Amino acid sequence: MGGGAEPGNLSDGSVSKDQEADVELGFASMRTVAGHRIVTLCMNPALDITTSTGTVLPTDKMRCGATRYDAGGGGVNVAHIAQMLGAAATAVFPGGGPSGEMLNSLLMAEGVVTHRIEIGGSTRESFTINELSTGLQYRFVVPGPEPTLAEQTECLLRLRGVATSAAIVVASGSLPPGVPEDFYQQVANICIDLDAILLMDTSGGGLTHVDSGVFLVKPSLRELREAVGRELTTDAEQLAAAQELVAAGVARYVLVSKGSQGALLASRDGGKLFAPVSVPPGSGVGAGDAMVAGIAVGLVRGWDLSQAVRLGIASGAAKLLTPGTAPCTLKDAERLFEQTESPVDIDLVSG
């Protein structure tokens, strides 16, 4: 173990604010400051609305069950879950209108420190419908408001101010309409200036328009396929594609989430496979965000990267046990962490 918490007690292991720890991160070493706050940036947050109905049909009115409201969007979810896992987390995000007010209130009620940048547009709402007759889930996601250039600049300025003493910065989620595809490179530049570790979870242009400053990026297998334009059916093909992103400067490490098949961690020097944790099928909404939150919490505790990824896998699995976009629980994450296995090297010959 790389220092910090014992596996069964994720809330222990913090060190004094100024204590530095040498941390061996899988394939290479780096220095980090353990015990500082995790800061997340979510440029396209959403008020997540979840309900259920017997059968989803066209045209007909469908009577729904009770409605659940959650604060959502990549970086918002990461901050919320990191807080539930015992870390101190701050969420930076643009928000406007009644939905933005409600999202902010929901986060504050859970103890998450928020820095909301007021914008003229209204925060988007996303809808999840659980079909009771089949167990299928339908998700409806709208684009979100288009922030002005001044609002985008204010988000970056606020992030720089809030992240001054952060050990980990997480940039997660899609970019809203009107935000340039290299926006996350601007975030990376801030993290370089602040000497903060940047974890990134995005797709499309936000993934391919970064060439420096990111420690780890977490695409799904689908997002990796889209980034390189190939099918990627074997472990060796997936590792080669992930290493292309490393070679292009997108990140030092690429962690490919593969759902029920676990995860693949790639660096310039090699790759490792992480087995999944078996849990009953449930809502997959926010499971990837839970994975990123678990990794961030592990790193801020001073754990090595492989161990932090195992916590990420446990947290993602724990998320499947909760309704809608509710965060996973510390108890479930601790229990499932005990079931995670050490990774194995990828055989490049057999794939």
Q: Is 302 left (phi over 0), alpha (psi -120 to 50) or beta?
A: left
How high is the pLDDT of residue 283?
65
> Is the residue at 28 inside a domain?
no
Half-sphere exposure of 19 (CA within 13 A, CB side): 13
Q: Give the residue with greater pLDDT, 29 vs 34.
A: 34
> Is the residue at 241 inside a domain?
yes
Whether the CB-CB separation of 12 and 18 falls below 8 Å is answered with no
> Is the residue at 5 inside a domain?
no
Compute the average pLDDT of residues 185-197: 96
> Is the residue at 184 inside a domain?
yes
Per-residue H/E/C for 282-294: CCCCCHHHHHHHH
Backbone angles phi, psi at 317, to 5 degrees: -65, -40
> Within 10 Å of residue 293's Cβ, how many Cβ atoms?
36
> Within 10 Å of residue 129's Cβ, how many Cβ atoms?
18
Per-residue DSSP letter, 259: G
Q: How far is CA 68 from CA 49, 51, 75, 178, in A?
A: 6, 6, 20, 30
Q: Which two tokens stand for residue 230?
A: 């190939």
Determine the Cα–Cα distance for residues 212 and 9; give it in Å rounded to an integer.
Answer: 35
- Examine the pLDDT at 21 and tell me if it is beyond 90: no
- Write down the mean pLDDT value for the chain: 87
Determine the Cα–Cα distance for residues 196 and 186; give it in Å rounded to an integer.
Answer: 14
Compute the average pLDDT of residues 178-196: 95
Instruction: Write down the pTM of the prediction.
Output: 0.86
How high is the pLDDT of residue 36?
66
218-245 pLDDT per residue, tens: 999 999 999 999 999 999 999 999 999 9
- Examine the pLDDT at 19 and tell me if it is beyond 60: no
Parallel, antiparallel, or unpaired: how do β-strands 216-217 and 253-257 relate?
A: parallel
Determine the Cα–Cα distance for residues 280 and 212; give it in Å rounded to an integer.
Answer: 39
> Is the residue at 7 inside a domain?
no
Q: In what order do the strands lie in the sheet with 137-140?
A: 68-72, 46-53, 124-131, 137-140
Terminal Cα distance for the chain, rounded: 29
Rg (CA), the chain: 19
The whole domain housing 252 covers: 35-345
Judged by average pLDDT, the poorest of 201-210, 314-323, 337-346 is 201-210
How high is the pLDDT of residue 31?
34
Residues assigned a catalytic role:
289
How high is the pLDDT of residue 349?
42
- Predicted confidence band at 207 (pLDDT cuts at 50, 70, 90)? confident
> Is the residue at 17 inside a domain?
no
163-195: burial string, b at 16+ Cβ within 10 Å, e else: beebbbbbbbbbbbeebeebbbbbbbebbeebe
- Examine the pLDDT at 4 and tell me if it is beyond 50: no
- Examine the pLDDT at 257 and tell me if it is beyond 50: yes
Q: How many domains does the chain have?
A: 1
Q: Give the residue with greater pLDDT, 227 vs 280.
A: 227
Compute the average pLDDT of residues 10-15: 42
Tell me the CATH number at 150.
3.40.1190.20
Query: Hey, which of 28-37, 135-144, 301-310 has the most confident mean pLDDT?
Result: 301-310
Whether the CB-CB separation of 215 and 185 falls below 8 Å is answered with no
Determine the Cα–Cα distance for residues 129 and 127; give it in Å rounded to an integer.
Answer: 7
> Is the residue at 25 inside a domain?
no
74-131 pLDDT per residue, tens: 999 999 999 999 999 999 999 999 999 999 999 999 889 999 999 999 999 999 999 9
Parallel, antiparallel, or unpaired: how do β-strands 28-33 and 20-25 relate?
A: antiparallel
Determine the Cα–Cα distance for residues 134 and 231; give it in Å rounded to an integer.
Answer: 30
What one-character-per-residue DSSP string does 127-171 give?
A: EEEEETTT--EEEE--------HHHHHHHHHHHHHHGGG-SEEEE
> Is the residue at 3 inside a domain?
no
- Predicted confidence band at 327 (pLDDT cuts at 50, 70, 90)? confident
How high is the pLDDT of residue 37?
86
